[in-house]
Amino acid sequence: MVGVIYGISLSSDIHPSKLKSVIKVDPEIIFDAPMFKLLTFVSEYYHYPIGQTVMSVVPSRLKKNLNQLRKFELIYQATPKLTKAFINQLPTRQLRIRKVAEEILNGDLRQADAMKLVSNWSECINQLEAYGCLKSKKYNPKLDVSTVEIPLLNDEQKSVINAITKKKGYQASLIFGITGSGKTEVYMQLIKHILKESQGQALVLVPEINLTPQLENRFRTRFPNQKLVSLHSHLTDIERLDNWRKAKSGEASIIIGTRLAIFTPMPFIKIIIIDEEHDMSFKQQDGLRYHARDVAMVRAKHINIPIVLGTATPSLESWHNATRIDNKYNFLKLNYRAVKNASLPEIKTILVNDKTKNGISRALVDAIHDRLERKEQSLIFINRRGFAPTLFCSSCSWTAECKRCSSKLVVHRKTNRLKCHHCGYDQKIINQCPLCDSMNLRPLGSGTQKVEEVLNKLFPGASILRVDRDTTRSKKSLTLLHDRMNNREIDILVGTQMLAKGHDFPLLTLVGVLDADNALYSPDYRAPEKLFSQLMQVSGRAGRSNIKGQVFIQTAFPNNPVFEGIKKHNYEIFSQTLLQEREQMGLPPFSFTAILRVESKKLKYGEQFVNDAAKYAESLSNKVVIYDPVRPSIERLKGYERFQLFIQANARKDLQNLLRQWSTYLRQYPLANRVKWSIDVDPIEF
Ligand code: ADP
Ligand code: ZN
Ligand code: ZN
């Protein structure tokens, strides 16, 4: 068993026969004092046991005790012995060896590519090595350094960098800058400045979806002489461990990573940068429910280093911190696009209703048509994959629902299946209504597949590509997409929010948003803020080079403040308004909240647990408001009945005090093993 030594004591209340001895201490997982302090803080703040907290941040191979050997990728090179003639005299049945040999003869072969070539690749390699036909060495990615052109900073960028570098020690800064205003450039120049000091390390956090190979390459080409590693979920366990070690040893000086990377041990860390700080993916939604931005803030404070947040649409929390009178954060603005002549796209709303044919308005169809004639590209954005959100019986109004969740089954036409997007349940599509036997079943609403089909009918000559989780799973396919877009092989992209961020397509000049209104119906008080930032990001895709872009947003509510704000590209007024509303309603950032989430197989256990938990919480404090237990919008998930309890306080201290006593109580509660429960501090989802 792998365990955690948190402290050492000379005596114990536990009987010696129940105590285990330490067989071996793994020197690799010893955290330095600042990291230990951070983990302790996180465990206490999120009310998550310290052992589990530590285990959540240790690379999985270390936990499984599978660590040891450091592995790296090899590259195979031909020796003079490997010739066409040599391959030809190999027995014909050695088909796979021939294939590998041909490939190596054509040029050096990376291990990663060899794996994809044939199934028994390692045997083939061994055999060829035995023939003396190849030699292997450690693979080091080569970079095309010649093309690096470092732009001269503009005045806005210069003053941002000056403001951040002039003060030593801890200081939080918020860079509020539209897409394309040169934030990434600022990050890179800040890092350059920091790395001038010997052995400095920089940590850059980005949302998962933004950590594209393009972004990584941009940093790599800018810092050809620095060791850069990335940490994200697409790495294999070995790669992750390897990169983690490079960060921990100080060998790597730039670490780009997603959420979890905030816990990377970095002995020489000198700055933390968080791009798209408003992004919800920085909050972990299960297990240790931490917010990477908030943890980063504490880490920076503990070790007294600067932290920089950047975004076009700050979270209201950060906005508040940057604009309040005592200026908790340095508030820095980049108001203009950095590339000369690049202007902001024109944003229009288009009024739609139930009668809008196929869900795509005439105006949008015309605009796509114009782009096709001008050989420019369009992006149609709909945040729902599949063909249609559900199957509907027009005789009796029955809709297809998941048996394990209280949600609708999504129609997938290409594979002829009904799928639950919450639990993965999947069945063949049916033709007859199970309730009234009528054959009048039809897909209701639209998703990416339907839009793709409609566009194919409307523009038969155009090359249309759908990008969602069903078509595009790997980073590699996103890179391919990039190349195809830039080579003008694609006229129209249809996609989900996967496409909203981080991609830069110079020939894309039109963006159409089909389903913006969904967010307006949401019970979540953060929905308008989320919608605004999504729309802003999507709009940022249009006209990044010198051709002016256009954005069409289809909506039934064109006068909604979200749309008014977005049309003027004005997040400032919008967020001030939202912030005032939050203040009037006493919602965060003007109060502090937590949610107790409860799940049980049997309804009555969950119900009893949550009710008793509420009663006990009431008895603990009169400074904390305990709301009535409710069912979340998806009442049943994967066969579990769900409940939640929202609590709120005006002071963080009061909330934390209550949570401490409450969680101790709940852990000992008799029903606790019949339910799954968790406490979510500073929740962002309801
Ligand atoms: P953001 O991160 O705010 O979206 P980027 O840093 O990616 O912005 O900059 C957008 C584009 O502008 C990039 O192509 C970048 O190379 C370019 N750029 C950034 N700063 C400058 C500058 N000072 N002069 C010219 N081009 C710049
Ligand atoms: Zn029916
Ligand atoms: Zn389901």
What value does the mean pLDDT take over residues 399-406?
90
Rounded to the nearest 10 degrees, the angle between the axes of helix 292-303 and helix 33-45 is 140
**Nearest ligand 1 atom, CA 312:** 3
In angstroms, rounded to a whole number, what is the distance separating the alpha carbons of residues 39 and 658?
21
What value does the mean pLDDT take over residues 667-679?
90
Give residue 146's pLDDT. Answer: 53
Give residue 475's pLDDT. Answer: 64
Which tens digits make up the pLDDT trace of 83-124? 999 999 988 888 899 999 999 998 889 888 888 888 888 899
What value does the mean pLDDT take over residues 384-397?
90
Lining residues, ligand 1, CB within 6 Å: 151-154, 157, 177, 179-185, 338-339
Strand runs (DSSP E) across 59-131, as ranges? 74-78, 109-110
**Cα–Cα–Cα angle for 512, 378, 520, nearest 5°?**
15
Per-chain residues with Cβ under 5 A from ion ligand 2 = 393, 395-396, 398, 433, 435-436, 438
Question: From atom 15 of ligand 1, which residue's Cα is the shortest distance away?
Answer: 182
Do the Cβ atoms of 105 and 82 come closer than 8 Å? yes
Q: Does the pLDDT value for residue 356 go beyond 80?
A: no
Q: What is the mean pLDDT of the chain?
A: 89
Task: Tell which wins on pLDDT, 177 or 505.
Answer: 177
Ligand of minimum distance to the alpha carbon of 395? 2
Residue 191's pLDDT band (boundaries 50, 70, 90)?
Answer: very high
Residue 339's pLDDT band (boundaries 50, 70, 90)?
Answer: confident
Give residue 325's pLDDT. Answer: 82
Tell me how far the alpha carbon of residue 639 lies from the centroid of ligand 3, in angstroms. 8
Q: Does the pLDDT value for residue 506 go beyond 80?
A: yes
**Nearest ligand 1 atom, CA 187:** 6
Other CB atoms within 10 Å distance of the CB of residue 11: 4
Question: From atom 24 of ligand 1, which residue's Cα is the shortest distance away?
Answer: 151
Give residue 239's pLDDT. Answer: 86
Secondary structure (DSSP) of 659-677 = HHHHHHHHHH-GGGGGSEE
Q: Does the pLDDT value for residue 580 go beyond 90?
A: yes
What value does the mean pLDDT take over residues 247-254?
93
Question: From atom 9 of ligand 1, which residue's Cα is the shortest distance away?
Answer: 182
What does DSSP assign to residue 104?
H
What value does the mean pLDDT take over residues 6-23?
88
The token pair at 404 is: 């394990």
Do the Cβ atoms of 649 and 591 come closer than 8 Å? yes
Q: Does the pLDDT value for residue 144 go beyond 60?
A: no
Residue 544's pLDDT band (boundaries 50, 70, 90)?
Answer: low
Ligand of minimum distance to the alpha carbon of 503? 1
Residue 143's pLDDT band (boundaries 50, 70, 90)?
Answer: low
Residue 611's pLDDT band (boundaries 50, 70, 90)?
Answer: very high
Which tens digits make up the pLDDT trace of 475-503? 667 778 888 888 999 999 998 877 776 66
In angstroms, rounded to a whole number, what is the distance separating the alpha carbons of residues 509 and 551?
8
Per-chain residues with Cβ under 5 A from ion ligand 3 = 402, 404-405, 420, 422-423, 425
Edge to edge, the sheet with strand 426-428 lists: 410-412, 417-419, 426-428
Q: How many CA atoms lie within 13 A of 121 on its CB side?
A: 16
**Cα–Cα–Cα angle for 174, 177, 180, nearest 5°?**
140
Q: Does the pLDDT value for residue 455 go beyond 70?
A: yes
Q: Does the pLDDT value for residue 659 go beyond 90?
A: yes
Which tens digits make up the pLDDT trace of 323-335? 988 889 999 999 8
Tell me how far the alpha carbon of residue 403 lies from the centroid of ligand 2, in angstroms. 17
Give residue 478's pLDDT. Answer: 74
Tell me how far the alpha carbon of residue 484 lies from the centroid of ligand 2, in angstroms. 45
Return the CA Rg of the chain. 28
Residue 171's pLDDT band (boundaries 50, 70, 90)?
Answer: very high
Q: Does the pLDDT value for residue 653 go beyond 60?
A: yes
Q: Does the pLDDT value for residue 314 go beyond 90?
A: yes
Q: Does the pLDDT value for residue 237 go beyond 90?
A: no
What phi and psi values does residue 644 have, to the nearest 5 degrees?
A: -150, 155
Question: From atom 11 of ligand 1, which residue's Cα is the shortest distance away?
Answer: 180
Give residue 353's pLDDT. Answer: 82
To which H or E segment does residue 37 belong? helix 33-45
Question: From atom 10 of ligand 1, which residue's Cα is the shortest distance away?
Answer: 180
Report the percent of the chain where pLDDT is more than 70: 95
| Cα–Cα distances in angstroms (integers) from residue 492 to residues 377, 475, 558, in the given order | 6, 20, 25
Spell out the residues 6+ positions from residue 354 whose beta carbon is closer than 8 angstroms to its own: none
